[in-house]
Amino acid sequence: MRYIDPDREAWAQFRHLAGDQPIHMLNLVKVKALATYPEDHPDFGKGITGLEAYRAYGRTTAHIFNRVGGRQIWAGRPQMMVTGPQSEAWDICFIAEYPSPSAFIAMVRDPEYRELVKHRTAGVEDSRLLRLDPVVPGEGFGE
């Protein structure tokens, strides 16, 4: 099964989690070899790769991300799955921080964002988005 956007149940749970403190969002993204834009999109049929489409998404929505107080706090280049299914190979991995869950909600509800997210939809083969509650790490793993 592939995942591109949250389903209604996950979105409802996200909105109802308590807190008005910063959240982190772990993003794992696998891009398509070739982006699939809808026929009415200006980039339809241009041979744009999934990676190019995803980068267009990031570039064109950056001002909205910044306006709501978002910032990328960590990025890494996935190399290989050490523990887990080898079929889950990711092309992009990063953690975004938002000042609150409502800031993330404001971003995804922004009318301009809703238009620009079509680049993401066209370019993403599969993804995972995990909401994290930032904590101060202990001295050992899992603390």
pLDDT digits (tens, 9 = 90+) for 106-124: 999 999 999 999 999 999 9
Read off the pLDDT of residues 68-98 as tens digits, 9 standing for 90 and up.
999 999 999 999 999 999 888 999 999 999 9
> Is the pLDDT score of 142 beyond 80?
no
Query: 10 to each of 6, 65, 97, 98, 129, how far by Cα in Å?
Result: 6, 21, 19, 18, 11
Name the strand (E) or helix (H) holding 16: helix 8-16
Return the CATH architecture of domain 22-132: 2-Layer Sandwich (3.30)
Q: How many CB atoms lie within 10 A of CB 10?
A: 13
Mean pLDDT of the chain: 94
Model confidence band, residue 141 (pLDDT cutoffs 50, 70, 90): confident
**Most trustworthy range by pLDDT among 61-65, 88-92, 132-136:** 61-65
Read off the pLDDT of residues 17-43 as tens digits, 9 standing for 90 and up.
867 899 999 999 999 999 999 999 999
